[in-house]
Amino acid sequence: MDPADSGPLEDPVAEARRLIAAATEQGLLMRALGGVAVYLLAPDGKPRLARRVKDIDVAVPRGTGRPAARLLEQAGYVGDQMFNALHGSRRLLFIDPARERHLDVFVGEFSMCHEIPLTARLDRAPLSVPPEELLLSKLQIVEATANDQSDMYSMFVQYEIGPAGLDPSFVAGLCARDWGLWRTCTGSIDRLLANLESSPLDPGEASRVQARLEALRGHLEAEPKTMKWRLRSQVGDKVRWYQQPDEEQDGSRP
C-alpha cells in the first residue's frame, strides 16, 4: 500500500493499522503505543474499559527515525521541524492538519517519567509493542490520568501474570536495575489496588485484577537488585527519582 494513496483516517486505531501496514511494505518496523495499542491488543479490539483515544503514538527501532519521518510525510502528516531537528534521534512529533491530531514517534526507547527500551523486542507483536512494554509505559507515569488507569485495568483483566500473559521477569528485571523506575511502578501498582473498589470493574474482575497486581508487585519485590539500585535506594525520596515531562516540548501523553 502506498501511504500517499489516502490521507489519515478518522479512527485513530484504523489509522495506526494503515501506517503500520505502510511501514511494513517499506521494510520499516513500526508498532503502536499508548491507548491505540491497548485497543489493538484487546480481544476483538475492545478493551474492558473503553475510552476515547485522541492521539497516535508509535515506536520504531533506533536509527530509523528518518525513514519513519518520510513515510509519515507521505501519509499526510506535517512534522514539527524545530522539535524534530533537535530531538529526532529519540523522538519525532507530527500532526494530522485536517484533524489537529498529534502523532508521536518514539525512536528506540519510550521516554517520559522514565526510559523504557523498545528496540530489542519491538517485533514480538504484529501491531503494537509487546504488552510488557505497553504496561511499563503506563506504570512509569508518576501522575497517571483516569485514562491511564483505565488502560492498566483493562490490561490486567485481559492478561494473567506469567509466561502466557504478562511476563513478570521482564518488568521486574528492568525495575531491579533502576530504583527510580521501581519506585514509580510499585507506587502505580499500589494506587491501582487502592482505587479498585471505585473502578467500573465487576467484583469478579476486581478480584482477578487485585490478585494479578499483587502477583506483579511480588515479582518486583523478589527480583534480586543491582548494586546501583541498592545505592540509589539509600537516598530514597529525598532526591527526585523521575523526569518531569514538559508537555509543550514533549507533546501529548500516550
Q: pLDDT of 52-66, one tens digit each?
A: 999 999 999 999 999
Average pLDDT, integer, range 214-223: 98
Q: Say what percent of the chain tops pLDDT 90.
A: 91
Q: What is the CATH number of the domain that holds 27?
A: 3.30.460.10
The β-bridge relationship of strands 56-60 and 101-107 is parallel
Region class of 123: left (phi > 0), else alpha (psi between -120 and 50), else beta: alpha
Residue 134: pLDDT band (50, 70, 90) is very high
Which tens digit of pLDDT belongs to each residue from 11-24?
A: 999 999 999 999 99
Grid coordinates of 47: 478493551
**Mean pLDDT of the residues in the chain:** 94
* Mean pLDDT to the nearest integer, 160-180: 96
Question: pLDDT grade, residue 250 (50/70/90)?
Answer: very low
**Pairing assessment for the beta strands 101-107 and 109-111 based on DSSP bridges:** unpaired
Residue 47 pLDDT more than 50? yes
Q: How many domains does the chain have?
A: 1
Q: Quick one: average pLDDT of 218-246? A: 95
Q: What does the alpha-carbon distance between residue 44 and residue 198 come to, in Å, rounded to a whole number?
A: 26
For 196, other C-beta atoms within 10 Å of its C-beta total 17
Whether 94 contacts 103, CB under 8 Å: yes
Range of the structural domain that residue 172 is part of: 3-250
Cα–Cα distance between 149 and 153 in angstroms, integer? 6
**pLDDT score of 1 more than 70:** no
pLDDT at 245: 77
Helices (H), the chain: 12-25, 34-41, 65-74, 81-87, 131-139, 146-158, 168-177, 179-195, 203-222, 227-235, 247-250
